[in-house]
Amino acid sequence: MPSITLPDGSQRHYSQPLSVAQVAADIGPGLAKAALAGRLDGQLVDTSALINKDASLSLITARNPEGLELLRHSCAHLLAMAVKQLYPSAQVTIGPVIDDGFFYDFAFERSFTPDDLERIETRMQELAVADLPVSRRELPRDQAITYFEELGEHYKAALIRDIPQGEVLSLYRQGDFEDLCRGPHIPRTGHLLAFKLTKVAGAYWRGDARNAALQRIYGTCWATPKELKAYLTRLVEAGKRDHRKLGAQLDLFHFDDCAPGSVFWHPKGWTLFQQLINYMRQQQDAAGYVEVNTPDVMDRSLWETSGHWFNYREAMFTTSTEDERVFALKPMNCPGAVALYARGLKSYRDLPLRMAEFGKVHRYEPSGALHGLLRVRHFTQDDAHIFCTTAQMEQECADTIALVFAIYRDFGFEQVAVKLSTRPANRIGSDATWDQLEGALSGALQGMAIDYQLNPGEGAFYGPKLEFVLRDAIGRDWQCGTLQVDLNLPERFAIDYVNEQGERERPVMLHRALFGSLERFTGILIEQYSGLFPLWLAPQQAAVLTISAGQNDYARRVLTALKRAGLRASLDLRNEKIGYKIREATLQKVPYLLVIGEQEKAEGHVTLRSRAGDNLGSLSLAELVERLGEEARMPGLEPPC
């Protein structure tokens, strides 16, 4: 006779066991129709799950984030079902949920075409309209292997063989299709109202290029057709803003197979990159940081002490020397920062010590995961490591959080979400230490009245962390900055300071990156601004364009004046029509075009045009320099007296 406690604290009492779906129906027909799953005593379960004892229950609908994930998970199964019906010889492998959608990998004898995708999507729509019930059953591991082998699903059987002996597995069936899955799933296919297949790409079995090649079909799924339409509109806009396309158009960077996952910066791209570094240097200097630099290659023993060798080894590039010493290209900057701190005796008067580094790091990312500037193997982090006392820890966290928000505002990111990731299963340090560190981060956020999302178990192996997620101009989210608090590395490296009582004490170590990867942040900014950078950040701020050769000498004087004022300008003296020159500079998204003809030369003026095509009038050279210089001032920089 279970008693069910609902999220509002109310209770419902029943004379016999019943399912989650029956509880929803008892509450009301609308909820019965909308319920996708339930959270029973904290665990997500199918609506068919039986409740036979007192329990707490919340019902999951498409309005919940978990509900949207369930829709996408179930849509991946719908995709696999449609493929199997249309192409029976295709084998299914894995089909997880990803940001904004899902994918499923298939082994098939030929490449899927756009026509195939259209056909598959049509079949998916038919299966959704059929409103097929989704049911769950369990099978012992060995029976499940036999079952899928007999179906000819050898990849699925191989996945099950990796599961320990004695495990009982769950399978989900809809119509004539059954798939291995932990679940839960939506109760009927009719809940899938808004989905779209987006593309097909290559993949490898288990993500390893040495294994069989597969085909990955991507799709997106939303709670309502309106949300789907809005997403597809964003997708079109994102295509226009793609940083890889704009990077080529604006001559910023390129990639080459001779250095996979590493950026070749062109002059204009490197100028943009350096502007970001200059901006961050200015911010860090004002916040009391000192800048340092540590070696790119360090001995294996350092990484063993830090714990990276045992927790991060598969992502590290290593080498050995003739004397059999093993070295690693650093995947992180923190052990080098500890080695710097350890040099010389530190007093409590030296703390907090805020050491910033634009450190090059190297991580082996799978080739299939590489994606322009957003996912690379060799990149620069705007790292900083703050060494402080326990009493200073929460305030240093709060100051860092405030700096993060101020910096993101300067780039136009007004919506910033914060996620607090707590202790993972694979970690170093005691629970008492983790309690203290997690408390410092949550305390700083609460003291600043900042809402945050809790991500249990998602922290780094050495400490909890905050992640800062930006929402860009077209509504996409990007995880960029991080802040981690750490008492474990100071303990492992045995670093200390002399406290006020003259005793040795361990410092707290804060790991902080604000842009994160500068390469990735640059890619995000290219898409945020659609290449239309604000004047202070633009690689080229002005183009001086002559109408005829008679103005060349005066145009050179204009260029010299601009450069002396610290402005980045170019000179176009080509024997081309002025309309052609204006069009080329506009396509390069140069913020200001300075047109010079005979009248401008005679008056000592220029005609100023914006890249949007607006005529901003005639200005003297002094007025021009003052106007552009004022607008080009870096955010946060105080104007000169």
Q: Which residues fall in the annotated binding site for Zn(2+)?
A: 334, 385, 511
C-alpha 381/C-alpha 64 separation (Å) is 35
Is-catalytic flag, 511?
A: yes
Return contacts of 558-567, CB within 8 angstroms, 24+ apart: 558/594, 558/596, 558/606, 558/621, 558/624, 561/621, 561/624, 561/625, 562/624, 562/625, 562/628, 565/625, 565/628, 565/629, 566/629, 566/632, 567/541, 567/542, 567/625, 567/628, 567/629, 567/632
Exposed, middle or buried: residue 29 (CB in 10 Å: 0-12, 13-18, 19+)? Answer: exposed
Measure the CA–CA gap between 80 and 90, rounded to whole angstroms.
9
Q: Which of 284, 381, 528, 541 is catalytic?
A: 381
User: Which of 277, 251, 274 shows the shortest CA–CA distance to 570?
Assistant: 251
CA distances from 315 to 255, 378, 517, 624 (A): 21, 12, 16, 51
Residue of 465, 506, 520, 581 marked catalytic:
465
Question: 3-state DSSP helix/strand/coil percent for the chain, to nearest 5?
Answer: 40, 30, 35
Do 417 and 440 touch, CB atoms closer than 8 A? no
Binding-site residues from annotation: 334, 385, 511
**Can 141 be counted among the known catalytic residues?**
no
Residues 6+ apart with CB under 8 A from 126: none
| Structural contact between residues 318 and 327, judged by C-beta atoms closer than 8 angstroms | yes
Q: Spot the catalytic one: 196, 363, 512, 611.
A: 363
Of 385, 427, 520, 589, the catalytic one is 385
The single residue of 73, 375, 511, 609 carrying the catalytic annotation is: 511
Q: Tell me whether strands 465-471 and 477-486 are parallel, antiparallel or unpaired.
A: antiparallel
Residue with tokens 């077209």: 474
In the residue annotation, 381 being an active-site residue is answered as yes
How far apart, in whole angstroms, are the C-alpha atoms of residue 65 and residue 403? 30
Give the number of other Cβ atoms within 10 Å of residue 116's Cβ: 19
CA distances from 204 to 91, 212, 617 (A): 14, 6, 59
For 185: left if phi > 0, alpha if psi spans -120 to 50, otherwise beta; the answer is beta
- In terms of DSSP bridges, do strands 569-572 and 542-546 run parallel, antiparallel, or are they unpaired? parallel
- H or E segment to which residue 624 belongs: helix 621-631
Q: Assign 554 to helix, strand or coil.
A: helix
Q: Are 185 and 134 in contact (CB under 8 A)?
A: yes
Tokens for 64, please give them.
């919940």
DSSP for 9-72? Answer: S-EEE-SS-EEHHHHHHHH-HHHHHH--EEEETTEEE-TT-EE-S-EEEEEE-TTSHHHHHHHH
| Cβ–Cβ < 8 Å for 601, 593 | no
List, in sequence order, the alpha helices (H) in 342-430.
Answer: 390-410
Angle (CA) 83 130 222, round 5° = 70
Q: Which two tokens stand for residue 135?
A: 């049911």
Task: Give buried/exposed letters for 363-402 (b at 16+ CB in 10 A, else e).
Answer: bebeeeeeebbbbbbbbbbbbbbbbbbeebbbebbbbbbe
- Residues 357 and 337: their CA atoms lie apart, in Å, by 9
What is the amino acid identity at position 76? A
Please state, in angstroms and rounded to a whole number, the distance separating the CA atoms of residues 447 and 466.
15
Peptide linkage before 17 cis (omega within 30 of 0): no
What's the gap between Cα 513 and its chain centre?
14
Instruction: Specify whether 363 is catalytic.
Output: yes
Catalytic residues: 334, 363, 381, 383, 385, 465, 511
